[in-house]
Structure formats: structure tokens, C-alpha cells
Chain A
Amino acid sequence: MTWSAAARGAHQPDNTAFTQQRLPAWQPLLSASIALPLFFCAGLAFIGLGLGLFYSSNGIKELEYDYTGTAGPGGCSACALADRGRAPPPPCWCAWHFSLPELFPGPVYLYYELTNFYQNNRRYSVSRDDAQLSGLPSALRHPANECAPYQRRASGLPIAPCGAIANSLFNDSFSLWHQRRAGGPYVEVPLDRTGIAWWTDCHVKFRNPPPVNGSLALAFHGTAPPPNWPRPVYALSPDPNNTGFVNQDFVVWMRTAALPTFRKLYARIRQGNYSAGLPRGSYAVNITYNYPVRAFGGRKLVVLSNISWMGGKNPFLGIAYLAVGSLCILVGFVMLVVYIRYQDQNDEDEDEE
């Protein structure tokens, strides 16, 4: 239909830098004089960074104890044997004794670690109802389908909190005792059980349903605790600000771990005499051994650690930087040799890869 195309004006294209693809462009030739210094600089920078990371990681102190059931003092193996019985397992207590020859600098964090526990299993990790956990009363009564089979009890009562994650809440508990001098009395080290969860978690994501007549328990009326729980959610802690859905142990647990071996923060040690760290002396961690892990071949550890600017103890990153930095320098040297060897032949050889 060309006849309707009206104007046969100038079809001449615009002669601009853009249309003619003549925009100023940088087409750098990576000659040896640029590439070699670049490599050396990068290598040196990486080595520096790596060294820093490595040393700060090495400076971090970490104590850990596997209490799953290894033979040894404390009697956790006995508890492990009891673990074989069916749930709910009988309460069992064991302890971990250790001594610090010098000050364990603070702030000190108490973690528990679980291995081979696939919190990131998809069906497990989606088995929760965020609406319910944010305190929505309707969701409290009608948990989401994702929670199944921990959505409702056989009696038809909705489970609060519903889902597999909540149901499998870690329920071992720890207390730390300090013996200043041999034979002395054990003094309980105060463990700060708050402030272990993300602020947004316990203030935004997790909210209790509005209390009925001032009572949280009434708000949860008509719901049932998860099958594995010995007590309802509103009785998780005697502290009214730390119970129900905002209980920080619960909140920490609900933040599913990325990897099958994971730690979760149990408490911070920062009060009283222990704000600077754990002074030297003997210590005992009393463990209430409830949580069954042996069925799936998992292990339980309790960990005391402090942190630095780069986080927890992990030498890997420092080593990685050191390795990459060294590699850069090595490659730089190889290229330097090649450059010097073939300098006079043809410049383009080095420029190309």
C-alpha cells in the first residue's frame, strides 16, 4: 500500500553519533603495562585482606561440646540411650564441664548446634503459617493448608502455632555455672535469653494475637499446641513479653537454617561480672536433654563463642583470599616472564589472551 504512504520526503538517515554508531567508546587494549600492575595490585590487596580476615578469625575463641551421647563425663550418653524411647522422652539431665585457663573475652554467645538436621527441607520449611504467627486472629483459628498435617489436631482444634517447624521446636535447655576456684561453689552465670532473635522477627513478623481480657491464654483459647509440645505456646516462658509467638527461642527456631548443620543462638552472656567475658575458672553447662536427634543420625552440640568484626570463627574466607591473591601474583609473574621473553617479537601477542 505504498501509494497511501504520503510523503516521499528525504529518506536520508540522521547523521548523528548515535545512529551512526559512533558514540565515544572506550576500547581498551590490555597491554602488559596495564595488565601486569593490575594483577600485582589485585594480588597484594587480596593477600592483605586475606591476612586480616585470617587473623581476626583466628582471634575468635570457640568452645564446643558434643553432648549427643558420647561417652564421657556429664552423663549425656545415658540421656541419649533414654532418647531411644518413644516421645515424649523422659526428662534427663546431663552436664558439660570445662575450665577456662584465661579470660574468654566477651561478648560471649551460647549456641546450640544441630547436625544433619534438614530444616531446609522444602516441605518442612514451608510448613508454617506466617499469617498466624503475625497474630492474625482469623489465621489463628484457621491455619493455612501448608501446615498440614500439623494444621489441626485429630479433635479438630486448630494447632497454634501450626506446622512442622513449630512442632519440632528445639526444647533442650542450658544453664551455665561458674566455679571461681576449685572446690568453690558454682555460681549461675546469667544468660540473657532475649535479644537473640532479629528485631524485625519479634517485632514485625511475629506478633501475639490480641489478648482477650488481658490474658494471652484466653486469646489462644480454642487452639491446641503442636503435638510434640508439652505445653501451650502462651506458656513458653514466664516472662509475659517473651511468651507466645514472640518467644525468642521460638522465633529463632522458626527462622529456618540454610544448611543441615547449623547453630542457633541460645543466649548472650553480658550481664554482671560477665559483661567483659567469662573469667578464668571451671564451668559447667547443665543440659536438660529432651530433643531426640539420634533417630536421624544428627548430633547436638553446645557452643560458646565470641565474635569479631567479621562474624564468627571461620578461617575459610581468609584462606580463600590468600589463595586468590597468591594466584594473581603467580599469574602476574608468569605473564611478566612471558612478556619479557617475547617482548620484542610482537606486541599484540601479549595483548591478546
Chain B
Amino acid sequence: MTEFLRWARYHWQRLTGGTNRDDDERPYNYSSLLACGGKTSQTPKVAGRHRVVVPHLRPFKDEYEKFSGTYVNNRIRTTKYTLLNFVPRNLFEQFHRAANLYFLFLAVLNWVPLVEAFQKEITMLPLVVVLTIIAIKDGLEDYRKYKIDKQINNLVTKVYSRKEKKYVDQCWKDVAVGDFIRLSCNEVIPADMVLLFSTDPDKICHIETSGLDGESNLKQRQVVRGYAEQDSEVDPEKFSSKIECESPNNDLSRFRGYLEHSNKERVGLSKENLLLRGCTIRNTEAVVGIVVYAGHETKAMLNNSGPRYKRSKLERRANTDVLWCVLLLFVMCLTGALGHGIWLSKYENIIFFNIPEPDGHVISPVLAGFYMFWTMIILLQVLIPISLYVSIEIVKLGQIYFIQSDVDFYNEKMDSTVQCRALNITEDLGQIQYLFSDKTGTLTENKMVFRRCSVAGFDYCHEENARRLDSYQEAVSEDEDSADTPSGPVSTTARPRAPSCRTVPNGPLGSKPWSPLGGSGEGASEVPRSRQAAFSSPMETDVVPDTRLLDKFSQITPQLFTPLEEPVPNPPLEILYIVDFFIALAICNTVVVSAPNQPRQKIGLSSLSGMPIKSLEEIKNLFQRLSVRRSSSPSLASGKEPTSGVPNAFVSRLSLFSRMKLASPVEEEASPTSESPQGSSGTSPCPTEVARPNGDPGLMGGQVGPCPGQPSAAPLCYEAESPDEAALVYAARAYRCTLQSRSPEQLVVDFAALGPLTFQLLHILPFDSVRKRMSVVVRHPLSNQVVVYTKGADSVIMELLSVASPDGASREKQQMIIREKTQKHLDDYARRGLRTLCIAKKVMSDTEYEEWLRNHFLAETSIDHREELLLESAMRLENKLTLLGATGIEDRLQEGVPESIEALQRAGIKIWMLTGDKQETAVNIAYACKLLEPDDKLFILNTQSKDACEMLMSTILKELREKNPASNVRTSVSEGLPQPPATQGSGLRAGLIITGKTLEFALQESLQGPFLELTACCQAVICCRATPLQKSEVVKLVRSHLRVMTLAIGDGANDVSMIQVADVGIGISGQEGMQAVMASDFAISQFKHLGKLLLVHGHWCYARLANMILYFFYKNVAYVNLLFWYQFFCGFSGTSMTDYWVLILFNLLFTSAPPVIYGVLEKDVSAETLMQLPELYKRGQKSEAYLPLTFWITLLDAFYQSLVCFFMPYYTYQGSDIDIFTFGNPLNTAALFIIILHLVIESKSLVHIPSSPGIPVPISSSEGSASGQTDARGEN
């Protein structure tokens, strides 16, 4: 509400104030109109979603108070309680539990004198104990959080202080929205801020987001446009702009807003400008930003939702049985009430029995019966297991402890083991019936290896490369990170033409844990070890060029490009294609080229000259900086301003000079972190970087001969958002088309034959899963044309290719041929299980581009519905493409996947593979991982219309019914709920393959029935080309319609929705970041761990907990019934034959520990057996340990045992002079003894704790007689 008022006031002022506001209002209106379909009055809706940020400095104080004064500051408090409110709040939270409320009700009831059964205070005891235990647990947890909060709140950062006119240290908690913050390299960002200044010459800043999403690669952030041009550091005093952005939300990948300068000029803000709290500044010396979201409103905090709370199937089952227990209690109390009434009516006037009230009158039997009902509820309260929920929680903690400490789940490479993020669904792991798996990164390693490519219709199969990879598979599996693998015999022998110096970049790159901070030291230890491995293992980075293709490369000369408009014969055209193809590989991506050892510093001419050199010391420093930079990323400078050769030459000469002068200290400074024996230049066969002609493009042509691989001689590191991109860039590098640097404005590609090409980067249209492609728009340095390079899924690209090429018939024809051939190659790649991508380009005229850019700009600056607009804009750009070629990237299966899948299938789990890949790739992987057997019958659903889909499904179903008459296909469609299929032991195995488009039809309501019926008959279902949304819909459909337990496993952001929908979500902490893990209930590091997780731990957890819960019911019913039977002999008067304390402590003390120990430690079958016989898992799937019938049998058993326990002593002591407690004690003892012994009989393994008798004993072959015997013994 306040926000709305603020917003309204703000807009009112703007309406009354400015005159030139029409222009800048436009994008805003445009966007909102577009999306809201012309709704005019939408102000209130918009109001809640925006915030205005003005600097937190005195000149704007009034304004600040107005707009930003009420935003929360950066202090965080993740604790739930404070010292003051702990008791009331904790109690309030605890009484949300029905069970606690019930016991509170009982305690209160006992304070009513008429129905009082126990001493008043005693009834409260169990409740108090349970509440106290939970309160202590909550309190400790909260205290831990408090300590962490305090630590974080007191971290120090530099905030601009107007008083002191400089940045001063302040605690994080004192940072407010609107503050200016200056951060240095390796500092953690204290709040979400908009980047206003970066020391980086390209005005970008790198951040590491692993603290936030776990993604190990660095992300680039850009200074807000308009500030990027300023070279001097932004002066907070002069900052007079306003920032308007969305209200805080938890979408990490979105930030929309604009910055309004004092002259009402607006600059759009996107997530590229936002530094997120919790990330670390890397590779950038210093940045300045203004805080827009602080404290709890930061995206990081909003994403921090804490552990998930799911209710397991078993618990739901138990809850219904608790209700049954309540009903049972009700019946027993009613019996007591009726009995008492009847009994009393016999002796209505006998004051022995019907003791009058204190005032002397005698209550009627009916009323007495009514009172007795409530008394009985108090008396028999033990029937409802108060400690059940507490015990379940404790048991699950124990189970999780054991799951997490299972050494089999430990992955040494990643130093990670299984994480249980959801604390209360361990037993669901034992009941999984359907498994939905992602393919990439889950079944496969997500280590993309470039395998083949097809350029201009020619397939280059890279046989040497394939051979190299084969040998890797053996060598690497043991020692993938080993330092000498790349330079070992494999790599040298397999590359006849590759000069040996090419190993130089790969050596330190792939093998050594480089620190991105170099000598700066601090914080280096925090860098996760896995970082250096991200997409850059030697296996992925080394590509052995195809000889045929290399031959063609030799034809590339710069002259090819000079007469651009001349009609060229066919072979050169192919060469042009090749060039374009590799340029596209190198630049059509968002790969960050990072210089491993230093914060990026580009010394442009301006900064160099603008730097006042004061002392000798500074000159030396300058040289050092220059040289270090050059040794790390040699050609950053070379590409900066290609037109101005002189400064470049100057810089390179300068660096040459510095190198010669200061060579040794530089090397020392650069290399300590990379302890490689072959330092960056020392032992290299081509050590002389000095000799490298990287300054002038004109010199390049003639000098590549002796050492062609030279350009990549520096340890360039590519950090890509997806491994495919990295694989392609590395592939391009193998052909000496090396991406040298990337900045927001330009790209430098070192093309062997052509020299360094500097592409002016005009635009990037990033990849998204809707478009399934990405594009870069660059100005080609040779032709000076605007070129769009597009890379994307083949299905998408093929549709976007130009139909009518303006270049004439021959070219068109050639395109057609290329297209056909490429398509053939693509199909071939897919059959081999390769991931395919198409590369295409488009040449635009400047005017076309201008026009497009204008529209695109509108889309970018709009706040609302930006996504739709951007999509539309992208569509306008990416059309009429010319196909260049295609690539095939291999994604190898993870180790142990086929075995796991086989075991899981034997365990009766239906496995569905949901992937975005194309059909052939998916099927191939499915075969490879044994999801499909070679003799399986495959049904492929790939239709273009709903009717066709329906037809096809019914034919397949018919066929299946004929072939499999005995099996379970009987389920009729009309029921709508096909039964979960019994797995066909013999008979035919079938696999179903369905494509994304057809899946859309199948997911429609009318076809859901047949679809599910069909899938029920199939061993494996493969959904290819599925979007993330479809994945989750499939899971939802199966889960809700078949009422089965589902498990979804995935590793990437596209699996998040599926993971969240499934009963159990498992994230693989792989290379695609932590988003899947964040959304998951359990996180594992490799798919093969799933086998043990489900088959062993799932089975155990389920069996343990199910038996424990049943045991709880058993023991309570058995015990309470003793009391109940006694009522028949005391006139249903509510007497208990034991002391109240015994009753109350029965659950809390006497029988609490054994079931908990049982629930944590019981092993019905050993782990080895469970792994060997996955079939044992089916017991959990069918919930056999705990069926509704089991519950009733347990109750009957309890009734029987209580009868024995009661009537044995009863007949023994009948007619004797026994008094109440003397009678009750042996009875109680016997019952306790038998109840504990029952657990011993239930448990199937007896753990020896050295020097003390273990807990349990074996299952007895006749439980009944065993308990009968103990009864008899108990009586003495």
C-alpha cells in the first residue's frame, strides 16, 4: 500500500513537472499496452511492481526519503525468533500441528473437575516434554542462524560517505538502498547493485556466482550504458540519476528497469547491469555500484527459501491411520461411557458406587456416562501416539545421517557426496515407481567433445580425433586430471601435423589448478577445486583436426576476401563457407576469455596517456602490469583499435621492451600458482612470445608457417555457460581460429591464415530454450558488412533458412544441395548419438540493421513484457539464413549408467527419458545406456496433428494387445486410470518414443488416457525435443493420473520444474550449475549413485520407517487396551490399574528409544543383497510393508496381545486379595516386556555393540506363540 502511494505520488509529480516526458514515457506505454491488450487503467497493477532508487546522499535527501527511505536496509535476519518472542512464537508454530493441539485439548480437559482422570498436572507432562524438545531443537537451529547472520551483517564493505568524501568502511548491515559501494577484486557483493563503474577497460566486470547458483564459470556484467563511456570513476556527488526498476523478486535471470538521467534521458537496465549479493568480483580491479535491493529484498535472499517441506507417502498413510486410531479411541470411549451409564443405573441408589457430588446430590447415570466419555478420552489418550511425530523426525534425521555418510556416494573429483536437502522424504526413495530422467548431464557426462562437422555439405569425420578419444576413455577414466595426459604419447602421436608446441596451452590449462587471482593471494583458497575443470578438461579442449579439412584450410588466403563482389568459382565458395563456419564457431557464443592470472586490465591508449606518471616506482609498476597482462592474454591489446595501428604497435613494442627488461620477475609473478614444470613459456618448444607478430595484421600472413599453433600459446581460458559452446570454441581453436578476446564491443579472432580479425560486436541475442538458438551480430572486418551468425538446433535453423536467395540460381541451387547433404549428415550424427547444431549466417545491409536495431532498442528498454518483445525482435533478425554447416558433439555416457539403469529396471521402476535432444540422438543414448534393448520393439509417435496422433496410438495399442493378451492391457480407456502395470516378466519389451510436438497432443485431455495406457505397456518411454514445461507436465500427468510415486532427476535449469513437480526430485550437481540441486530434495554427483540411493537406502528407509510406524500403533493399542479391558472390571469408571506416571511415561520414556534405534539402524536385508537383487525393491513400490490391511492386522495383533496380557494376570489373581497397583504392576511389566520383545521379533538383525548385549533378536517363526510364552513368563 505504501509502495503504491509512493508510486502514485511519484508519477503525479512527473506528470505535473516535466514537459518533455512524452518521449521517454513511450517505451513504457508501448510495452504495457502490447501485453495487456489495450487495457487502459492498469496503474494499480503496475504500481506494486516498481521501485525507485535515488542516491542515498544529502542533496537528494528529501527525494530519498520519499522514494527509497522505506526500503529495507541490508541487515539480514534469517532467524525466526528473537529472545522476546521465542516462547510465544515457537508455541504458536508448534500448535499448528494437529497432534499437539489434540494433546493440548486433553491437558485442558483434565482441568475440568468433572471428567478429571489424572492429577491435573500429569497430563500436561507429555505435551510439555515434546514441546520442550522441539523448542530446544528450534532454538539451537535459530541460534546457529543468528550467529551466521551476525557474522554476515558485520562484514565490512566500502560505502561512499559524503561527510568524508570518500569510500569508508561500513558493515554490511548498514548499507542502504541508494548507497554507492566500491568493491575490489575478490570481494563479495553485499547487496544487489547496478554497476556504474568498472576499472576494466571494456567497462565490464566479472563475477563468480558459485555462491549463489554454484555455476563455476565467471559471468560478465556491464556498466550501465552512458556510464561506460566515462573513463573516470563515477562520482557519487554528481550522480543525479534515478533508477526505476521492478520490485524485488526472486528471478535471478531477470532484472528490468531503467536509469533516468537528470535530463530525462533513459537507459535500459538488464540483468547484465546487476551485481547480485553473494557473488564475488573476479578479474576486475574495482567496481562501483549503487545499491538497488538490499538485505532481504536481494535476489539471493529471496531465493533462499530454506529446506523444502514435503510430506511423504508413508506419512500420509500414517496420518490416515492416526485418524483411524482416533476413531478407535472414540469407539472405546463410547463403550466406556455406555458401560458406565448402564453399570451405574444398576446401583443408582448405592452410594458406595454412585458417590454423591460434594453438595450431596447424586448425578444420573446418563450424565455420569457423558462425563465418563471425556474421562475415558483422557485415560486412553496413550492410544494416539504423541511421540510418533517426534520419533519420525528423529528417525529421519538418523537416516539422513547415514545416507550422507555413505562413502559410496562420495565423488572424489568433485569432493562431494550426497546431499539430503529435504529432510522428511527419505522413505519415499524406497517407493519409486516411475523415474523421469534428463539425458544431458544426467545420463551423460555433459562433457562435450567435438566429434565431427559438416561444412558446406562435406562431412569431416575427424577420425584421428575419434581415435584419440577412444584412447582417452581408457586412460582418462583413471586419471583424467593428470598433468601429463595431454602431452603424453597419445596426443603427440595422434597429431601428425599438429606442431608440438600446441600442447603448451593445454598443459597448464587442463592440468593445473589455476587461480584466477594470481599473486593477489587472498581468497584464492576459496575457489572451488572443480572450477578449473569446468568444461576444460584436456579431453574436451583437445581436438585433432581432420586432415582433409586442414588441406582446405591451406587454401585460405587473405586475398580471398579482397575481391568480394567478384563471381567466385565453386571451390573458393566452399572455402568461404569454411572460413565463415569457423568464425561462427569461434564467436557465436557467450564464452568469456579469461586471463587466468590477473584481473583484466587493458591498457588502452587513453588510459595510458591519461595516467600521470609520477615516479620511477610507478613506471616500473606500469611496466609490470603491462607485461603480466601480456603474458597472460597476449592479444587483448592488439584487437582494441584495429584502425589505429600506431598505438597498438606502440603498446606491443612497449611490452616487448618491458618483457626484455623485466622478464624474470614477471615470470615469477605469473607462475607460482601454476606449479607446472612447463611454465607458460620456459620449456615450450615455441617459447618466444616475443617473436610473435601480434601487433599488425598485415604481418601475419607470411609468418604462420613455422609455428602455426602459436596464437594460442598463452593459457587462454574459455569459460562458457554451456559445455557445447566451449567445445565448439576449442574445436575452432584446433583449426587455428582462436577466439582471443571478447569485450562487449568487439571480438578478436586469431585466424591463422588471415591474422587477427577484430569483429565489432554489434549485438548478441542470447540462447533461450524457446528459440533454441542464439545469434551474434557483428561487423565483419574484411567485408565490412553486418553479419549475423546463428547457431542453433537443426530443426529450428532449417526452418529459418532462406528460401529464395537473392544471389541467383546457382547459389540457390548450391544451398539446396548443401542443405540436403547437411541434413543427411545431421541424421547420421544423430544416429551416432551426437548432439547436433547447425551454423548459419546472414548478411545484412546497414539500413536493414539500423531498422532492426531501432525496434530492438524499444524492446530492450521496456520494463513490462520485455521477454515477448525481445523474442519478437529476435524473430525479425534470425531469418533468411544461409546454412554453413553442422557440428556433431559427443556427450559421453557417465560411468555406471547402463548398469544402474538395468538394475533400476529390474527393480520394476519405469524409466522415462525426457530430453530436449533430437529423436535419433535420444534413441541412440537410450540404447547405449541399456534403457532400450536391441530387440525391443520401438513405437515412434511422431505426428503433426492430434488426429493422427490419436490414430497412431490406437493402432499401437491394438497391436500391443494382440501380442500381449495376457498382460495388463485390459485397462480400459474409459476408466481413465490405467492401473500401474505389473511389469511384464516375459513377453515383449516395447519402447515408446515420442517427440515434443506429438507430446503436446498427447498431453491434451482427450488423449491422456490412451497415452498413459500406451506408456504403461512400454518398458521405456523416451520423450525427445521436450521443453522444460513439457517435462514437468509429463511428470505431473503420470503422477496425478496413475497415482504413482515419481522421481525426477536432472542436472540443469531446464529440469528444475520437473524436479519440483515430482514426488522426489534429485539434482545432479554436475557442470551446469546448481539450479537443479537447489530445487531438488536430494543431490547426488553422478547418476550411478541413484542405484544405491534407491535400492539400498530407499529400501531400508522405507522398511524401517514403515515398520516403526506400525510398531508405534501396535504398542499404543496393545498398551491402552490393557486399560480398556480393565474398565470392564471396574464398572467403566475410568480407573487405571497402574500409576498415572507409568501411563504418561509409557510413550515418552519406556518405549521411546527402541523404535527410534530400530528406525535408524534396522537392516532387513544387507546392502549387498539389495544391490544384487534389485527385485527386492518391488516390495517398497507396492507399499507392501505398510498396506491398509497391514495396519488392521497390526491392530488385531495388538488386541490379541493385550488380551493375553490382561487376562492371564486376571485369571491368576482372580479372587485373591490383590490390590489395584499390585495387580497393575505385573500386568504393566509384562506388557512392557512383550512390547519391547515384539520389536526384537520384528527386527531382523541384531547389532552387537561390543561388551553389551545388542538390541534385537531374529524374527521368530511363530510370533503368536512366542508372545504367548512370554506372557506366561511375565506373570510370575
Contacts and interface: CB of A to CB of B under 8 A. Distances in A.
A and B together in one complex: yes
A264 interface: yes
A320 B1208 CA distance: 8
Interface residues of A, number: 68
A3 B280 contact: yes
Contact of A127 (B355, B528, B1131, B1220): B355
Contacts of B227: none
A324 interface: yes
Given A30-B1260, A121-B1135, A263-B1217, A295 B350 contact: yes
Given A27-B1244, A35-B1261, A46-B1272, A111 B1217 contact: yes
Contacts of A320: 1208, 1211, 1272
A11 B1218 contact: no
Contacts of B278: 1, 3
Interface string A111-124: 10100011011111
Interface centre among B350, B360, B404, B1269 (most CB of A within 10 A): B1269
Interface string B1243-1276: 0111111000010011111110100110010010
Nearest to A19: B405
Nearest to B155: A4
B1220 A23 contact: no
Contacts of A148: 357-358
Nearest to A45: B1269
A2 interface: yes
A321 interface: yes
A141 B528 CA distance: 80
Interface stretch (B410-418, B452-460, B627-635, B772-780): B410-418
Contacts of A324: 1265, 1268-1269, 1272
Contacts of A111: 1217
Interface in A95-129: 111, 113, 117-118, 120-125, 127
Given A4-B148, A258-B1222, A13 B1135 contact: no
Interface in A172-219: none
Interface in A1-37: 1-4, 8, 10-15, 19-21, 23-30, 35
A266 to B, nearest CB: 10
Contacts of B1210: 259
B1247 A23 contact: yes
A8 B524 CA distance: 12
B1220 A258 contact: yes
Q: Identify whether the interface residues of B are mostly helix, strand, loop, or mixed.
A: loop
B148 A1 contact: yes
B1262 A331 contact: yes
B1246 A26 contact: yes
Contacts of B1254: 25-26
Contacts of A117: 352
B1130 A121 contact: yes
B1216 A314 contact: yes
A164 B188 contact: no
A347 to B, nearest CB: 14
A149 B280 CA distance: 79
Interface string B153-189: 0000000000000000000000000000000000010
A312 interface: yes
A120 B1212 contact: no
A311 B1224 CA distance: 17
Contacts of A19: 402, 405-407
Given A26-B1248, A149-B355, A258 B1163 contact: no
A353 interface: yes
B410 A25 contact: no
B289 interface: no
A4 B402 CA distance: 26
Given A120-B1129, A124-B353, A314-B1212, A28 B1222 contact: no
A124 B350 CA distance: 12
Interface in B496-551: 526, 528-529
Interface in B1149-1167: 1161, 1163, 1166-1167
Contacts of A286: none
A42 interface: yes
Contacts of A321: 1272
B1130 A11 contact: no
Interface string A41-79: 010001000000000000000000000000000000000
Contacts, number: 214
Given A42-B1269, A260-B1129, A164 B417 contact: no
Nearest to A255: B1219
Contact of A331 (B1244, B1247, B1265): B1265
A184 B1250 CA distance: 75
Contact of A125 (B117, B407, B1220): B1220
B955 interface: no
A2 B1073 CA distance: 14
Contacts of A23: 1161, 1247-1249
Given A3-B188, A257-B1220, A353 B1215 contact: no
Interface string B1094-1131: 00000000000000000000000000000000000111
A123 B355 contact: yes
A124 B529 CA distance: 77
Given A3-B188, A255-B1219, A259-B1129, A13 B406 contact: yes
B1272 to A, nearest CB: 5
A324 B1269 CA distance: 7
Contact of B353 (A257, A264, A296): A296
Contacts of B1223: 258-259
Contacts of A258: 1137, 1213, 1218-1220, 1222-1224
A136 interface: no
Contacts of B417: 11-13
Contacts of B1137: 120, 258
Interface centre among B351, B402, B412, B1244 (most CB of A within 10 A): B351
B1216 A311 contact: yes
Interface string A301-329: 00000000001101011001100100110
Contacts of B603: none
A265 interface: yes
Interface of B: 117, 148, 151-152, 188, 210-211, 278, 280, 304, 347, 349-353, 355-360, 375, 402, 404-407, 409-410, 412, 415-417, 526, 528-529, 1129-1131, 1133-1135, 1137, 1161, 1163, 1166-1167, 1208, 1210-1220, 1222-1224, 1244-1249, 1254, 1257-1263, 1265, 1268-1269, 1272, 1275
CB-CB nearest 8 A-B residue pairs: A258-B1223, A148-B358, A3-B211, A13-B405, A26-B1246, A19-B405, A120-B1130, A122-B1133
Given A23-B1161, A28-B1257, A328-B1265, 16 more contacts: A1-B148, A3-B188, A113-B1215, A118-B352, A118-B1131, A120-B1129, A120-B1133, A121-B1130, A122-B375, A125-B1135, A164-B355, A256-B1220, A257-B1217, A316-B1214, A321-B1272, A335-B1261
8 contacts: A4-B148, A24-B1247, A26-B1258, A122-B117, A122-B1130, A123-B1133, A256-B1220, A261-B1214
Interface of A: 1-4, 8, 10-15, 19-21, 23-30, 35, 42, 46, 111, 113, 117-118, 120-125, 127, 145, 148-149, 151, 164, 168, 255-265, 295-296, 311-312, 314, 316-317, 320-321, 324, 327-328, 331, 335, 353
